[in-house]
Amino acid sequence: MSKGLYFIPIALLVLGGCKTVKNDIPPQQIVAYNDQQEAEAQDLLEQALQLEKAGNDKGAEKIYKTIAKSYLGTEAAAEAHYSWGKLLLRMDRKQEAFNKFKFVTKNFPAYDRYGEVMDDEFEGACQLCDEYKTKKRTSSRFTAFFQDPKKVIESFNHIIERAPRTEKAPKALYYIAEMHQIDNEKAKAIQALDQLIDRYPESPWAPKAYVFQGDLYLAFVNGPAQDQGMTRKAINAYKDFLVLFGNRSDLADLTERAKNGLKTAYNYHTGSRVVMGDFFLFRRHYPDGAMIFYEEARRFTPASDSTELAQERIQFIRDGKPIPTNWADKLFGKAQYIPSEKPAAN
């Protein structure tokens, strides 16, 4: 074996050791306990809470772990996990805290403080999302490669599943779209926004979703020469926003953003028609075909720089001017096709 091959298992071992995963006790292990065990669990919980008040966080966490391991089916288990999660949050161990909140909402739906846990779970997910976005934008290209948004996205999906009729769900979908956008997964981001718009059209997050979706569609296009239909989808998204929410004074900034995006999309679309027309006119020397695209660009409203250029090209063809040829055209004897029927001047 060559020396280079020895490096492979060592590298795998190092990378594998960079991240450890500790799972909670699976739900199937939750069983009924007798009165004595219930009392023992409640006594342990009270001890842990007293230790927290005394500032002994490590001692409290140790007892919470005991309850989670040996008294998972007791009524005190839900309270223990919730208190444990809040303790971890104060200790700035956000991911671990979120896992405790998530465990409670998943396995203890009858817990009398379920709503509070869900609120804390959602707040934790939002904090993790903000941290991920900050790290992704400020880290180097190398370290960004090792940052995975899957856990954050799974967190929001869990909230959507557990609280689909609350205002948390559309906000979670919007955050998921942001995660995918930062990770350069534009198609997945658009899919999340589609769900938001379809399921929660009355949500305060719906207006943002329309404009965000238009921006994402437009991000697929690198200019008129590369328009593949995404421009039309961007136009529809911006227009839908302006029709539904364009008159709302509280959305003035969003309206301005939609108008600017729509103007760019219009320029891309008319520009793409001119690009196609130029191809038929100057590369194929086929004015009849070019006129189709120029006319489409000319009729498009509102007018843009490309609209004016299309009108100039149309006039050029109607005047019967010879199409410029290059050395290749002359070498291969490229034919000069003049339109068989000149359109009537407007």
Q: What is the pLDDT of residues 235-256, one digit of tens each?
A: 999 999 999 999 999 999 999 9
Looking at residue 146, its pLDDT comes to: 42
Q: Is 228 helix (H, G, I), strand (E, B) or coil?
A: coil
Sign of CA dihedral 63, 65, 67, 71: negative
Domain assignment of residue 211, yes or no: no
d(CA 206, CA 27): 36
Give the Cα separation of 172 and 117 in Å (integer): 16
Residue 234, in any domain of the structure: no
Residues 112 and 181 in one domain: yes
Judgement on whether residues 110 and 134 belong to the same structural domain of the protein: yes
User: Which pTM value belongs to this model?
Assistant: 0.76
pLDDT one-digit tens code per residue, 4-59: 555 555 555 555 544 443 445 554 444 556 788 899 999 999 999 999 999 999 99
Residues 6 or more apart from 225 whose CB is under 8 A from it? 271, 272, 275
**Selection from 270, 160, 256, 249 nearest residue 211 by Cα:** 256
Orientation of helix 168-182 relative to helix 206-219, angle to 10°: 20
Indicate the residue among 63, 92, 121 that finishes a domain. 92
Task: Tell me whether residue 315 is in a domain.
Answer: no
pLDDT of residue 13: 52
User: CA-to-CA distance for 284 and 48, rounded, in angstroms?
Assistant: 82
Residue with tokens 């140790």: 62
DSSP string, 129-174: HHHHHHHHHHS-HHHHTT---HHHHHHHHHHHHH-TTSTHHHHHHH
How far apart are alpha carbons 222 and 237 in whole angstroms? 18
Longest CA–CA span in the chain (Å) reads 101
If one counts the domains in the chain, the total is 2
Residues whose CB is less than 8 angstroms from the CB of residue 98 and which lie 6 or more positions away in sequence, other chains included: 85, 121, 124, 125, 128, 155
Does residue 344 lie in a domain region? no
Residue 85 domain boundaries: 30-92
Residues 144 and 188 both lie in one domain: yes
- Measured CA to CA, the distance from residue 196 to residue 338 in angstroms comes to 52
Which phi-psi region, left, alpha or beta, contains residue 300 (left: φ > 0; alpha: ψ -120 to 50)?
beta
* Nearest CA-CA partner of 98 in 109, 107, 111, 89: 89
Residue 196 lies in a domain: yes
**Which residue, among 317, 319, 233, 303, has the nearest Cα to 271 in the 3D structure?**
303
Note whether 134 and 162 are same-domain residues. yes
Same domain, 54 and 137: no
The pLDDT of residue 145 is 44
Kindly list the averaged pLDDT for each block of 10 residues, start to end, along the chain of length 346. Answer: 53 49 47 77 95 95 94 92 95 89 90 93 87 75 56 87 92 95 93 97 97 96 81 95 96 96 91 90 86 88 79 90 70 53 46
**Do 35 and 63 reside in the same domain of the chain?**
yes
CATH number for the domain including 198?
1.25.40
Residue 19: per-residue pLDDT: 44
CA proximity to 83, closest of 195, 109, 111:
111
